[in-house]
Chains A and B, each alone.
Chain A
Amino acid sequence: MKKITVLFTRSPHSTPHGREGLDFAMLSASFDQQVSLIFIDEGILNLLKDQQPMLTGNRDYIATFKVLPLYDVEDIFVCQQDLALLQLNQQDLLIDVELINDHAIQQKLADADEVLVF
Chain B
Amino acid sequence: MILHTIQTSPAKGNRLALCLRFMREQDSLLLLGDGINSLLSPQIKQQLSNTTLYLLQDDVNARGLANALMQYDMISYEDFVALTISHNKVINW
Contact = CB atoms under 8 A, between A and B. Distances in A.
A41 B18 contact: yes
Interface residues of B, number: 11
Nearest to B13: A10
Contacts, number: 26
Interface in A1-24: 9
A9 B35 CA distance: 17
A60 B31 CA distance: 35
Chain A interface: which size bin?
Answer: 10 to 19
Given A115-B91, A117-B91, 6 more contacts: A9-B93, A102-B22, A109-B91, A110-B2, A115-B89, A117-B92
26 contacts: A9-B18, A9-B93, A40-B18, A40-B22, A41-B14, A41-B18, A102-B21, A102-B22, A105-B22, A106-B22, A106-B23, A106-B24, A109-B2, A109-B22, A109-B91, A110-B2, A110-B24, A112-B89, A113-B89, A114-B89, A115-B2, A115-B89, A115-B91, A117-B91, A117-B92, A117-B93
